[in-house]
Amino acid sequence: MKITVVGLGYIGLPTAAMLAESGHEVLGYDVDKKVVAGLAAGRVELAERGVRDLARRALQSGRLHPSSMPFPADAFVICVPTPTVDHRPDLRAVEAAFGAVAPLVQDGNLIMLESTVPPGTTLAVAERTFRALGRYLDAIHLAHCPERVLPGKIVDELLWNDRIVGGRRPVDAEMARAVYATFARGEIHVTDLTTAETVKIVENAYRDVNIAFANELAILAEALGIDAWETIRLANCHPRVDILSPGPGVGGHCIPVDPQFLASANPFASELIQTARRVNERMPHVVARIVRSVAPIETGDRKVALLGAAYKPDIDDARETPTLAIEHLLADAGYTLVVYDPLVTQYPGTVTADFDAAARDADVLVIVTDHAEIRELDPQTVAAAVRSRTLVDCRNCVDVDRWNAAGFDVHVIGRGAFRSTALVAAA
């Protein structure tokens, strides 16, 4: 088939490349001319090696053509971002993408939306767009096929994840299923448009609620003087319990955002989802409280090194990272902050990849992101650089005995041996 993929970001590019690799003639359209020019010159600047290799192969095959203009095709796949502004979904990119391709869509063509959207969006936007052109949707095929891949494992999950394909009519879903079947090796489940939209949001809301539960347990464990990590590990030995891990808060462009798509559909029927969001949004405050309690600013100047700006390990993405909230809270309290990350280059504040500079004369090190480079730090070497040997580990990722042996006081979030009232107060 001839397929136009709209949006060449972290989902659009690997999807376009995968389609090209399975034999389709793919045009990749993006409004960002710099992205298109880079790809046209063979430059693929995404952090994930698997995605880079896949995209390079597709570009070299001559079946993936980057373009800053959309072109007619048999099928159109829309993969554009859907952020939130003031807790409300911002659908301008989806509307612009439909608007860009609609004049090129011929009767019998298929449009597949992959972007995560509130229930009802695919149909509403398509109807509005085509009505404005004086056309009826019945002549075209429309499907919602939400992307569900985990950043860090994109290529693997594109290939092996089950897919949900929602069609406006069964024939639309069947056509979309056939396209994904050309590369997806997981099962492809067919349903209607609104169910497919909702399934995607439900998955991320479920994860947010589960992480909030783990975070709440971390705070409770502190109050009880027990270890939340051990408690969760043991509870998860039960065949029907699967609790996720506590941490400094939930980042990324999906999990903190998507639950709000459900909540905004009916604020009165989404209390659990909204409470989970609040619990997770509170975690940077919990981390700041721990720092204030282990290194009170009242007793002198304090330098805090936040280790990790990415929202999760081993990626270079800092969108919605809890690091930023922790940095602001501590800076407002009078601390001197430095943020270290070996991978992140785009961060709303200042970030350094120079660990020695970050650690030099620090009073507290806070592990926010468990990158390999951070997990594998040598405590003896670090001890020589810092002013005071205090480590806060928000990911339970270091060998506490080794750090203790190097003279560090180690405070693991959710571990009640550190019987601080800080966590309880923050709750």
Q: What is the number of H-type helices and E-type strands within the chain? A: 17, 15
CA-only gyration radius of the chain, Å: 24
Shortest CB 211 distance to ligand SAJ, Å: 5
Please choose, from the candidates 372, 381, 246, 382, the residue with its C-alpha nearest in 3D space to the C-alpha of residue 305. 382
Exactly one of 69, 133, 139, 150 binds ligand SAJ (CB under 6 A); which one? 150
Among the residue ranges 43-51, 54-62, 240-248, 414-422, the one whose residues contact ligand SAJ (CB under 6 A): 240-248
Distances (CA, A) of 349 to 182, 289, 319, 325: 43, 21, 12, 11
176, 189 Cβ separation under 8 angstroms: no
Among the residue ranges 148-156, 184-192, 219-227, 360-368, the one whose residues contact ligand SAJ (CB under 6 A): 148-156
From the list 79, 145, 254, 394, the catalytic residue is 254
Among the residue ranges 145-153, 179-187, 191-199, 343-351, the one whose residues contact ligand SAJ (CB under 6 A): 145-153
Distances (CA, A) of 320 to 150, 156, 200, 253: 16, 24, 19, 6
Q: By CB under 6 A, is residue 247 in contact with ligand SAJ? A: yes
Shortest CB 72 distance to ligand SAJ, Å: 29
Shortest CB 135 distance to ligand SAJ, Å: 31
Q: By CB under 6 A, is residue 251 in contact with ligand SAJ? A: yes
Active site residue 200: yes
Residue type, 36: V
Q: By CB under 6 A, is residue 339 in contact with ligand SAJ? A: no
Joined together, the tokens standing for residue 288 give: 């700041």
CA 247, chain centre distance (Å): 15
> Helical H runs in 333-415?
355-359, 372-375, 379-385, 400-405
Q: Which residue, 126 or 254, is less far from ligand SAJ as judged by CB?
A: 254
Shortest CB 117 distance to ligand SAJ, Å: 11
Residues 6+ apart with CB under 8 A from 240: none
Shortest CB 74 distance to ligand SAJ, Å: 26
Residues 6+ apart with CB under 8 A from 19: 3, 5, 26, 77, 179, 182, 183
* CA separation for the pair 342, 325 (Å, rounded): 19
Q: By CB under 6 A, is residue 118 in contact with ligand SAJ? A: no
Q: Which residue, 193 or 214, is less far from ligand SAJ as judged by CB?
A: 214
Among the residue ranges 15-23, 94-102, 230-238, 242-250, the one whose residues contact ligand SAJ (CB under 6 A): 242-250
By CB under 6 A, what part of segment 192-221 binds ligand SAJ? 203-204, 207, 211
Q: Which residue, 107 or 162, is less far from ligand SAJ as judged by CB?
A: 162
Q: Which residue, 133 or 150, is less far from ligand SAJ as judged by CB?
A: 150
Shortest CB 182 distance to ligand SAJ, Å: 20
Exactly one of 15, 115, 245, 270 binds ligand SAJ (CB under 6 A); which one? 245
Q: By CB under 6 A, is residue 255 in contact with ligand SAJ? A: yes
Q: By CB under 6 A, is residue 168 in contact with ligand SAJ? A: no
Active site residue 145: no
Backbone angles phi, psi at 395, to 5 degrees: -125, 5
* CA separation for the pair 145, 76 (Å, rounded): 12
Q: By CB under 6 A, is residue 252 in contact with ligand SAJ? A: yes
CA 164-253-44 angle, to 5 degrees, is 85
Annotated catalytic sites, by residue? 200, 254
